[in-house]
Amino acid sequence: MERAQIQGLAAAARNASIALAQLDAKIKNAALTAMAGSLEAQSATIIDANKKDIAAAQKDGLSAAIIDRLRLSDTRVKAMADSLRTIASLEDPVGQKISTRKRPNGLVIDKVRVPIGVIFIIYESRPNVTSDCAGLCLKSGNAVILRGGSEAINSNIAIYDIVKGSCKSFGLPEAAITLMRDTDRKAIEILLAQKEYIDLVMPRGGEELINFVTEKSRIAVIKHYKGICHTYVDEEADLNMAERICFNAKVQRPGVCNAMETLLVHKDVAVRFLPSMVKKFRDAGVEIRGCEKMRSIISAIAGPASGAKDIKAATEEDWYTEYLDLILSVKVVEDPDEAIAHIRKYGSMHSETIVTDNQRNADYFLKKVDSACVYVNASTRFTDGGEFGMGAEIGISTEKLHARGPMGLEELTTYKYVIYGNGQIRE
Amino acid sequence: MERAQIQGLAAAARNASIALAQLDAKIKNAALTAMAGSLEAQSATIIDANKKDIAAAQKDGLSAAIIDRLRLSDTRVKAMADSLRTIASLEDPVGQKISTRKRPNGLVIDKVRVPIGVIFIIYESRPNVTSDCAGLCLKSGNAVILRGGSEAINSNIAIYDIVKGSCKSFGLPEAAITLMRDTDRKAIEILLAQKEYIDLVMPRGGEELINFVTEKSRIAVIKHYKGICHTYVDEEADLNMAERICFNAKVQRPGVCNAMETLLVHKDVAVRFLPSMVKKFRDAGVEIRGCEKMRSIISAIAGPASGAKDIKAATEEDWYTEYLDLILSVKVVEDPDEAIAHIRKYGSMHSETIVTDNQRNADYFLKKVDSACVYVNASTRFTDGGEFGMGAEIGISTEKLHARGPMGLEELTTYKYVIYGNGQIRE
Residue B126 pLDDT exceeds 80: yes
pLDDT at residue A302, rounded to an integer: 67
Q: Do B374 and A418 touch (CB under 8 A)?
A: yes
Quote the percentage of chain A above a pLDDT of 90.
87
pLDDT at residue A333, rounded to an integer: 98
Cα A214 to Cα A200: distance, rounded to the nearest angstrom: 12
Taking CA–CA distances from A419, the nearest residue in chain B reads B375
pLDDT tens, position by position, A54-86: 999 999 999 888 898 899 999 999 999 999 999
Q: Is residue B53 part of a domain?
A: yes
Q: Is residue A389 part of a domain?
A: no
Q: Is residue B156 part of a domain?
A: yes
Sign of CA dihedral A130, A136, A139, A145: negative
Q: What is the mean pLDDT of residues B315-335?
A: 97
With contact defined as beta carbons under 8 Å apart, do B318 and B289 qualify?
Answer: yes
Q: What is the mean pLDDT of residues B120-129?
A: 92
Q: What is the mean pLDDT of residues B275-283?
A: 95
Same-domain check for residues B173 and B290 = no
pLDDT at residue B421, rounded to an integer: 98
- DSSP element (H, E) containing A332: strand A327-333
Same-domain check for residues B132 and B193 = yes
Cα B162 to Cα B160: distance, rounded to the nearest angstrom: 5
Cα B227 to Cα B210: distance, rounded to the nearest angstrom: 14
Burial letters A301-331, b for 16+ CB under 10 A, else e? bbeeebebeebeebeeebbbbbbbebbbbbb
Same-domain check for residues B220 and B233 = no
Same-domain check for residues B166 and B249 = no
More confident site: A108 or B224? A108
Same-domain check for residues A185 and A273 = no
Q: Can you give the length of chain A in residues? A: 427
Q: State which amino acid sits at residue B273.
A: F
Q: Is residue B425 part of a domain?
A: no
Give how far B382 is from chain A: nearest CA, Å. Answer: 7
Cα A31 to Cα A184: distance, rounded to the nearest angstrom: 31
pLDDT at residue A306, rounded to an integer: 62
* Average per-residue pLDDT for chain A: 95
pLDDT tens, position by position, B230-243: 999 999 999 999 99
Q: Do B388 and A114 touch (CB under 8 A)?
A: no
Q: Do B400 and A220 touch (CB under 8 A)?
A: yes
Number of CB pairs < 8 Å for A and B? 184
Q: Is residue B269 part of a domain?
A: yes
Same-domain check for residues A195 and A266 = no
Cα B163 to Cα B131: distance, rounded to the nearest angstrom: 7
Confidence of residue A207 (pLDDT cuts 50, 70, 90): confident
pLDDT at residue B351, rounded to an integer: 98
CA neighbours closer than 13 Å in the CB half-sphere of residue A388: 30
Cα B111 to Cα B97: distance, rounded to the nearest angstrom: 6
Confidence of residue B301 (pLDDT cuts 50, 70, 90): confident
Question: Which value does ipTM take for this structure?
Answer: 0.94
Domain that holds residue B15: 3-225+398-420
E-strand stretches of B72-151: 97-102, 108-115, 118-122, 143-147
E-strand stretches of B251-358: 260-266, 287-290, 312-313, 327-333, 351-355
Same-domain check for residues B215 and B295 = no
pLDDT at residue A64, rounded to an integer: 86
* Domain count across chain A: 2
Q: State which amino acid sits at residue B103.
A: R
Q: Is residue A186 part of a domain?
A: yes
Same-domain check for residues A255 and A331 = yes
Residue B12 pLDDT exceeds 70: yes
Same-domain check for residues B39 and B181 = yes
With contact defined as beta carbons under 8 Å apart, do B234 and B358 qualify?
Answer: yes
Residue B302 pLDDT exceeds 70: no
Confidence of residue A307 (pLDDT cuts 50, 70, 90): low
Same-domain check for residues A405 and A264 = no
pLDDT at residue B206, rounded to an integer: 83
Quote the percentage of chain A above a pLDDT of 70.
98
Q: State which amino acid sits at residue B58.
A: Q
B-interface mutation test, from A223, A419, A422, A427, most B Cβ less than 10 A away: A419
With contact defined as beta carbons under 8 Å apart, do B401 and A116 qualify?
Answer: yes
Residue A191 pLDDT exceeds 80: yes
Q: Is residue A215 part of a domain?
A: yes
pTM above threshold 0.95: no
Cα B108 to Cα B86: distance, rounded to the nearest angstrom: 35
pLDDT at residue A308, rounded to an integer: 64
Same-domain check for residues A67 and A214 = yes
A250: domain CATH number is: 3.40.309.10
pLDDT at residue B393, rounded to an integer: 87
Report the DSSP beta bridge partners of residue A120: A145, A201
Q: Is residue B390 part of a domain?
A: no
Torsion of the alpha carbons at B334, B339, B345 and B347, rounded to the nearest 10: 150
Q: What is the mean pLDDT of residues B220-225?
A: 90
CA A412, A416, A422 angle in degrees (round to 5)? 160
B354 phi/psi in degrees, rounded to 5: -115, 135
pLDDT tens, position by position, A220-250: 999 888 899 999 999 999 999 999 999 999 9
Confidence of residue A1 (pLDDT cuts 50, 70, 90): confident
Taking CA–CA distances from B14, the nearest residue in chain A reads A344
More confident site: A23 or A395? A23
β-pairing, B229-233 vs B351-355, is: parallel
Q: Do A401 and B404 touch (CB under 8 A)?
A: no
A39: domain CATH number is: 3.40.605.10
Q: State which amino acid sits at residue A398.
A: T
Burial of A10: CB neighbours in 10 Å, binned 0-12, 13-18, 19+: buried
Same-domain check for residues B324 and B408 = no
- Identify the weakest region by mean pLDDT among A84-98, B51-65, B264-278, B291-305: B291-305
DSSP-based three-state secondary structure for A65: helix
Cα A48 to Cα A60: distance, rounded to the nearest angstrom: 19
pLDDT at residue B124, rounded to an integer: 87
Q: Do A388 and B423 touch (CB under 8 A)?
A: no
